[in-house]
Structure 1
Amino acid sequence: MSLLESYAEVAGADVIAQLRQLAATLKGAKVVHINSTHVGGGVAEILSKLIPLKQELGIDTRWEVITGDSEFFECTKGIHNTLQGNRIPLGESLLRVYEATNAHNAETLRPVLKDADFVFIHDPQPAPLLKFFPERKGKWVWRCHIDASHPYRPVWKYLRQFVAPYDASIFSLAAFAKELPHPQYLIAPSIDPLSDKNVDLKPDVIQQTCDKYRLDCERPLVVQVSRYDRFKDPIGVIQAYHLAKQYLPTLQLVLAGGGATDDPEGEAVLSEVQAAAGDDPDAHVLLLPSDAHLEINALQRAADIVLQKSIREGFGLTVTEAMWKGKPVIGGDVGGIRLQVINHHTGFLVNTPEGAALRTRYLLHQPEMIAAMGGKAQAFVCENFLITRHLREYLTLMVALLHGAQDRIELN
C-alpha cells in the first residue's frame, strides 16, 4: 500500500483521488520548502509529513533548513515575539546579523532555489532570502505560522520590506493577514492521523508511560504539551492547577515539552516552570526529546482534559492532537485556538488561570460532559484539520499561481 493510499481509510478514497487529480497538472514541478529547524515545533512536524506526500504525487519536492549563530536566532526570536505583540525594539546590530545570515544562506542555497518552480519560505527567519534572487524563475510564497494580528509596528514595517515582493503569502487565519501588495491565502495547519503522535495506542502502552512518569491512572489528570515558551503560559497553567487542586486534592498535572534549535529562550523558561512547580509530587514538568512522539501520544490519551493556555498562538497543533484523541481542550481565547475550540462544544476558551481552574473543576465533576465534548472534538478534527486537507490546499494554491489570472482552470 502506498503512503497516500494508507490515508484513504481515515479521509476516504475520494479525497485521495482528488489529490491525484490536482497534482497531475504539477507533475515534475520543482518545489522547495525552507524553514529554520528540522526538529521542534509544529512547522517542522508539518513539513516532515507534507514533503513525502508531495513526492509521491510526482512533485519534485525538497526541504532545506537555513543555519545561523546565536545572535541570528536571538534576533529571529525577537522578531517572532514582536510580531505576536511584544513591544521590544530590536537593535541595529542584530538586524544586520539577520540580513547577513540570510545573504550567506542565499549563496549556499542558490543552486537549489534558482531554478525552483515554487519556493515556500516559512516564518520570519528566512524571509529576506527573496531579496537575493532578483532573477528568480518560479513563484515565491511566504508562509506565516505566527499570530501576527497585532504586531509591534516598527518591527512589522521592517519585515514587510522583505515580504512585500513575494508572489503570495499564506496565513492560518483571516485575522492574521496583513496589508500586502500580493494575493493572500488562508491555510490552517493540520495533523497526521497516522503518525506516532496520533495513531491509536493499546492500553498497556499508555499504562507503561504513566508508570514511567509515576502517574496514577485512577486519579484525574490534566496535561499541557508545548515548547517551554512564555507565550504558551506554562506558569499560568501551574497557577490554574494550584487553584483547581484546592477543590480536587487528587488532581495531577503534566507539563510536557521539548526545545527547538531556533528558540534560545527555552532553557530559561523551563527553569522558571520548574521553580513554579516546586516540590509538589503531583506537578510533573517533563523535558522530552524531539522524537518522544509515542510518549506524548500516551500522555494525551491518559489525560482527562488537555490544556493549551496560550496567550498568543498561531494555531496550536497540540490542541488538534488532543481533540483527535477525543479529549476536551481548555484553551486560551487567542489565535488559532479559537478556530478549533468551539466554546461549550469541543472545549472551553479561557483568559485567566482562574478561568482555566473553574472549567477544569466543572468538567472533572461531569464525566459525561467530558465524553460528549471529546466526541465532538474528534469529529471536528476529522472534518477540518487532517494532513490530506492541508495538502489539497497547498496543491490548489500552486495550481492557482501556475495559471495566474485565468478565470477557469481545467483539471484533466
Structure 2
Amino acid sequence: MSNLLESYAEVTGNAIVDQLRQLATPLRGMKVVHVNSTRVGGGVAEILDKLVPLMCELGIDTSWEIITGESDFYQCTKSFHNGLQGHRIAIPEHLLRAYEETNVRTAEQLRPVLEEADVVFIHDPQPAPLLDLCPDRKGTWIWRCHIDVSHPDRHIWRYLRHFLTNYDASVFSLAGFAQALPHPEYLIPPSIDPLSAKNMELSQDEIEAVQKHFGLDPQRPMILQVSRFDRFKDPLGVIQAFRLAREFTPGLQLVLAGGTASDDPEGEAVYREAENAANHDADIHLLLLPPDAHRTINALQRSADIVLQKSLREGFGLTVTEAMWKGRPVIGGDTGGIRLQVINYHTGFLVNTPEGAALRIRYLLQRPGRATQMGEKARQFVRENFLLTRQLREYLTMILAVRNGGTDRIDLS
C-alpha cells in the first residue's frame, strides 16, 4: 500500500482502501482528465486537488486541466450560476459570444489531451461546450454538475442543454438537483478530504495564534460562517441573526470568513454590502481570506462554538461538512445539500429566516452539553458518508458502469 493510501486507511480503515484498490484494478493505465474553471477557491477545486493524486496512486493516469477566460467569460458563467439556481437573468449576446469563444480557444489548446483520454470529467457549465469541440474524441465524457439546477431560468437551461445532450452520462449531487437529460444520470454527493490542511488536526497553539491574529476573544462565545461573499450565502441575514441573538447573549462574537475565487466577479461587491451592514460593529469580524488560507479556516472552525451556513440556495455546502467533521453543531439554511447533512435536532438545525437562526443560536449556547452531543453525532455522520474515499469509490464504480454499457453486473476479477 502506498504512503498516501496508508494515510487514508488510518482515518477510514483498511477495508475502505482495499475496496478502492479492487475497484481501480480494471481501470489501471486508463487516461482520465478533469476540466474545471479554477485551481483555487471553491469546493470543486478543493476536491480535485486531492482526488486527482489519489486516482493516480491507484494506477489511473489522471490529470487536471483548467478553462480560463477574460472578464466577460466569468461574468457570463456567474450569470449561468445564478440563473441555474433560480434567478431570472437575461444574458447579453456579447457575453454568450465570449463564453463560446473561450471554449473554442480552450479546445484548441486541450484537444490532443481530451481526444486521447479514456474518460473526461467536465465540471459545471464553464467548459460544457468542449465535448462538441472535440469531434475525434475516443473516450467516455461525463458532465459533473455541482449546482442545484432543479428550478433553473428556462432560457439559460435551454441554451446550456444543447451542449450537454451528447455526453455519455451526467452526475448530480442530489436527486432534487437534477434535470432530465438523454443519457444515464448518477447521484454522487461531494466530500471533504480529512487529510487536507483545512480538515487535519491542529495544535491548540496554532488555533490560539489565529484567534489572536484576528482579535477574537477565546473567553467569549463565537459563531462563524465560512463561505464566498455571495448573495446566495446570505451574509446580511447572518448579521441580522447575530444581532438578534446578541440581545440575549452579551459578548457574542460573529466571524464572516469569505474566500475569493478567480471565476466569481461578484465577491467584492457582496463583501462591501456586508461591510456596510456590519457598520463598524466591533463584535462583527469580516475576513476576506486568500484562497489558500486553509489552515486559517480550519482554526476558525475549531474556535467556533456554532457554525452557520445560512444559504438561501446551496449546491451542497462543503463548509457544513468541514464544520461537522470538527465536531461543531451547524445551523444551516433549509436548502439543497445542507438538508442531506444537517439532521434536525441530531447534527444541527435547519432554518429559513434570521429569526429562526437566532433562536437556534440561543438554544445551543444555553445548552452546551447538547451542543457537544450534536457535534459528536455530526463528526460520525461525516465519517460514514462524506469523506473523499466514499466519493472516489462512487466515481470508480460509475466509470466502470458507464464503460460497461450500463450492464447490471460488473466483473472485478
TM-score range with shorter-chain normalisation? over 0.9
Tell me how far 1:90 sits from its aligned partner: 1.1
Corresponding position of 2:356: 355
Alignment of 1:85-96 (within 5 A): 85-96=86-97
Is residue 131 of structure 1 aligned with residue 132 of structure 2?
yes
Matches within 5 A, 1:65-214: 65-214=66-215
User: How far apart are 1:224 and its partner, in Å?
Assistant: 0.4
Please tell me whether residue 5 in structure 1 is matched to residue 6 in structure 2: yes
Question: How much has 1:343 moved relative to structure 2?
Answer: 0.8
CA deviations on 1:156-179 (whole Å, 9 max, x unpaired) are 011100011100000000001111
Is 2:395 aligned against 1:394? yes
The one-character-per-residue Cα deviations of 1:11-58 (angstroms, maximum 9, x if unpaired) are 110110010001010000000000000000000000001000000111
Report the equivalent of 1:270: 271
Give the drift of 1:406. Answer: 2.8
The CA distance in 2 between the partners of 1:390 and 1:400, in whole Å, is 15
Segment drifting more, 96-105 vs 66-75:
96-105
* 8 A Cα contact 2:148 2:178, kept in partner: no
Aligned 1:5-44 pairs, distance under 5 A? 5-44=6-45
Any unmatched runs of 5+ in structure 1? none
Aligned residues between the structures: 412
Distance 1:294 1:3 in 2: 20
Cα distance in 2 between the residues matched to 1:168 and 1:77: 24
CA distance in 2: counterparts of 1:255 and 1:399, whole angstroms: 42
After TM superposition, give the deviation of residue 290 of structure 1 in Å.
1.2
Query: Cα deviations across residues 376-404 of structure 1 (Å, max 9, x unaligned)?
Result: 10000000000000110110011111211
In structure 2, give the amino acid aligned to 1:108.
Answer: Q
Secondary structure, counterpart of 2:116 in structure 1: coil
Structure 1: which amino acid aligns with 2:352? N
TM-score by length of 1: 0.99
What is the root-mean-square deviation in Å for CA atoms of aligned residues?
A: 0.8
Residue 66 (structure 1) shift: 0.6
Q: Secondary structure at the match of 2:131?
A: helix
Within 1, Cα distance between the matches of 2:384 and 2:47? 18
Q: How has the CA–CA distance of structure 1 residues 398 and 246 changed in structure 2, closer, same or farther, with 3 Å as cutoff?
A: same
Tell me how far 1:278 sits from its aligned partner: 1.3
User: Which residue identity is paired with 2:232?
Assistant: F
Partner amino acid, structure 2, of 1:321: E
Q: Which residue number corresponds to residue 286 of structure 1?
A: 287
Per-residue CA distance 1:62-86 (angstroms, 9 max, x = gap): 0000111000110000000000000
Q: Supply the distance in 1 between the matched residues of 2:182 and 2:289 (Cα, whole angstroms).
A: 42
Separation (CA, whole Å) in 2 of partners of 1:255 and 1:408: 48
The reply to whether residue 301 of structure 1 matches residue 297 of structure 2 is no
What is the SS of the residue equivalent to 1:396? helix
Instruction: State the identity as a percent.
Output: 67
The 2-side partners of 1:249 and 1:131 are apart by 59
Q: CA deviation at 1:248?
A: 1.0
**Is 1:382 aligned to residue 409 of structure 2?**
no
Measured against aligned partners, the alpha-carbon deviations of 1:94-113 in whole angstroms (never above 9, x if no partner) come to: 11211111111111111111
The 8 Å contact of residues 104 and 130 in structure 2, kept in 1 or not, is answered as: yes
TM-score by length of 2: 0.99
Q: Secondary structure at the match of 2:314?
A: coil
The question of whether the paired residues in 1 share the 8 Å contact of 2:116 and 2:138 is answered with yes
AA in 1 matched with 2:211: C
Query: Deviation of residue 273 (structure 1)?
Result: 0.8
Post-superposition CA distance 1:306-337 (Å, at most 9, x none): 00000010000000000000000000000000
Aligned-partner Cα distance in 2 for 1:111–1:273: 45
- Provide the rounded CA distance (Å) in 1 between the counterparts of 2:111 and 2:137: 10
Q: 1:408 to 1:364 in 2, by over 3 A?
A: same
Determine the structure 2 residue equivalent to 1:410.
411
Q: What 5-or-longer segments of structure 2 have no aligned partner?
A: none
Query: Segments of 4+ in structure 1 off by > 6 A?
Result: none
Deviations 1:357-377 (A, max 9, x none): 110011100101101100110
Contact in 1 for aligned 2:83/2:89 (Cα 8 Å): yes
State the match for 2:320 in structure 1.
Answer: 319
Residues 249-285 of structure 1: CA deviation (Å, up to 9, x unaligned): 2100000011100000011111111111111111000
Structure 1 pair 408–333 and aligned structure 2 pair: CA distance change class (3 A): same
Q: State the SS of the aligned residue for 1:131.
A: coil
2:229 aligns with: 228
Judge conservation of contact 2:81–2:147 (CA < 8 Å) in 1.
yes
Q: Distance in 2 between matches of 1:182 and 1:31?
A: 20
Moved more, 91-100 or 387-396: 91-100
